[in-house]
Amino acid sequence: MFHTRPSSRSPELPIEWEGYGPHPGDGVERYGILTQYLVQDMPDGYFTSRIVVAVAESGDMFVAGATDDGYYSSLVIGPHGPGGERIEGQLFSRTFDINGVLCQWRRERITDLQPDSVDYFFWECYAAVPVDAPAYPEPMHSPRYRAEMDRRRRVSSNAAKHERRARSEATIERFDPVEVYERDAWICGICEEQVDPQVLHPDAMSPSLDHVVPLSKGGDHTRANSVLAHLICNVRKSAN
């Protein structure tokens, strides 16, 4: 899902401005209903050079104009039946059945992340959704966006936690503990056994960050002073 990629025509500007996208091959899953996207070149003299076709599992389609890059333009052509026939006079009121679920078209917004993993942006698409889907739906986030937000949360909560415990003169580096765990190849720095990434805190065998020189003894909260340790190994070391 959500494979939207930068414009091939302006690779120096890998931005999809709000309201543009998706690209061919993208898929959007909404409340268990899948929509996929095609981009179709139109013949010369047609009133738009390209169209984006959203295709539901039932074969129902929603057609909108696109720019030469394949992004949506402001032109909305509207719903088409599974046979390609245009449905006149219905834009978002058209309903159709997908696996026993009554669906309609809706303009949906997705928060995604730029390839630089720093800036985020929105793109929009026409997607098939159940008619009883919430009017103000939960926002859709691309996997890339979600992973980055999780990482940022870990970085800031980790730094804040250790900042409170460290001596005032200690160095506090902001980093994702997972970075250190991966550097240490998921081997506990204390018992030298494997640490299972799937085991979650507060399980005794969950991964934790051990400070080689403890913060209480003036150690720094830095990558260099940190190793991966089982939570239980870490606790035992602190107790001694």
Q: How far is the CB of 167 from Zn ion (least distance, A)?
A: 26
Q: Nearer to Zn ion by C-beta: 102 or 235?
A: 235
Q: Does 133 bind Zn ion (CB under 5 A)?
A: no
Phi then psi dihedrals of residue 157, to 5 deg = -70, -35
* Coil, helix or strand at residue 128: strand
Distance (Å) of CA 147 to CA 14, 43, 142: 20, 41, 9
Q: Which residues contact 209 (CB under 8 A, 6 or more apart)?
A: 158, 177, 180, 226, 227, 228, 229, 234
CB of 181 to Zn ion, least distance (A): 12
Among 148, 191, 222, 237, binds Zn ion (CB under 5 A): 191
CB of 234 to Zn ion, least distance (A): 8
The torsion angle over the Cα atoms of residues 219, 220, 223 and 225, rounded to 10 degrees, is -20
Which one of 80-88, 119-127, 153-161, 222-230 is the stretch in contact with Zn ion (CB under 5 A)? 222-230
Give me the residues paired with residue 64 across strands: 52, 76
CB of 213 to Zn ion, least distance (A): 18
Q: Which of 191, 225, 189, 230 is nearest to 207 (CA)?
A: 230
User: Does 209 sit near Zn ion (CB under 5 A)?
Assistant: no
Q: Is 205 in the site for Zn ion (CB under 5 A)?
A: no
Pick out residues in 64-83 that bind Zn ion (CB under 5 A).
none
Measured from the CB atom, is 38 or 191 closer to Zn ion?
191
Which CB, 77 or 190, lies closer to Zn ion?
A: 190
> How far out from the chain centre does Cα 114 lie?
11
* CB 234, CB 210: distance < 8 Å: yes
- Least CB distance from residue 229 to Zn ion, whole Å? 6
- Closer of 95 and 206 to Zn ion (Cβ): 206
Give the footprint of Zn ion on this chain (CB under 5 A): 188, 190-191, 230, 233
